[in-house]
Amino acid sequence: MPLIEQPWARVRRPTAIPDPLTAEGLLELEDDDLAQLIRSHLMPREQSGPGRRSWDGLWALVKRNDQLADRVYDILEDFLDTTEQATTAGDLDEAAQARARKFVMHCEQAWARVDRGREQASRHLAWAGRAGDFQPAARRVIATLVGAIARHRAANDRTGTPEDLELWSVLRKVDLDPDDYADLR
C-alpha cells in the first residue's frame, strides 16, 4: 500500500518543518509522517524569509545524512510509482492528470536536489566519473554495493577466501574499484 494514496492531490494543511530541525528528529518520524512532511515541502512555500530558510535547511539536512537521504529517496520513489500507476490506469480526470504531471516534476526536482548535493560530496559514483551512466536509483544501489564490497575488502586486510578474492575482483572488472579512483576522491 502506498504511503499516501493520492500524493499528487493538493496539500490543504502542510506539515510544519520541525523546529529545531535535526536529523535525529526526522529519523524518529514514522514513514507516513516523514512522507507527509516531504510531500508538504517538495517546493518552497515562501520565496524568502524564515519559511524559505527552514525549507533550505530541511533539504540541506537530507543531503548530508545518508540514512535520511535513503528514506527520502524511498518516499519519492513511492510517490512516483503511485502517481504513475494512477495516470496509466486512466482513472484521473483532466485536472487530476495535470496535477499529477506537475507533481511528478516536483518529485524529480526533489530527487535531483538531494542527488546534486550528495554527488558533490563524492556520493553515488561521482568519484568514478560514472554517475551519468546510470539512473539515480541505480546509482544509489550500485554505489551502496560497491561501498560494501570495498569495506569488506578493507576489513579483511585484502586477504580472504577464494570467494572473497573473486568478489573483490569484480570491482575492477566493472571499472568501479574505489582504489583505481583514490586520487579523484
Question: How confident is the model at residue 126, as a pLDDT?
Answer: 61
pLDDT tens track of the chain, all 185 residues? 778 999 999 999 999 999 999 999 999 999 999 999 999 999 998 888 899 999 999 999 998 888 999 999 999 999 999 999 999 998 899 999 999 999 999 999 998 888 875 544 445 566 565 555 677 677 777 877 887 888 888 888 777 888 888 888 888 788 777 776 654 44
CA 71 to chain centre: 7
Question: How confident is the model at residue 30, as a pLDDT?
Answer: 95
Cell digits for 31? 514513514
The residue type found at 13 is R
Cβ atoms within 10 Å, residue 141: 13
Is the pTM of the predicted complex or chain greater than 0.85?
A: no
Question: How confident is the model at residue 185, as a pLDDT?
Answer: 44
What is the C-alpha separation between 11 and 39, in angstroms, rounded?
Answer: 8
DSSP for residue 176 = -
Task: With residue 106 as reference, give the H or E element that holds it.
Answer: helix 94-120
Question: How confident is the model at residue 180, as a pLDDT?
Answer: 67
DSSP 3-state helix, strand, coil percentages of the chain (rounded to 5)? 70, 0, 30
What is the C-alpha separation between 90 and 77, in angstroms, rounded?
Answer: 20
What is the C-alpha separation between 6 and 8, in angstroms, rounded?
Answer: 5
The answer to whether the CB of 74 falls within 8 A of the CB of 141 is no
What is the C-alpha separation between 181 and 146, in angstroms, rounded?
Answer: 13
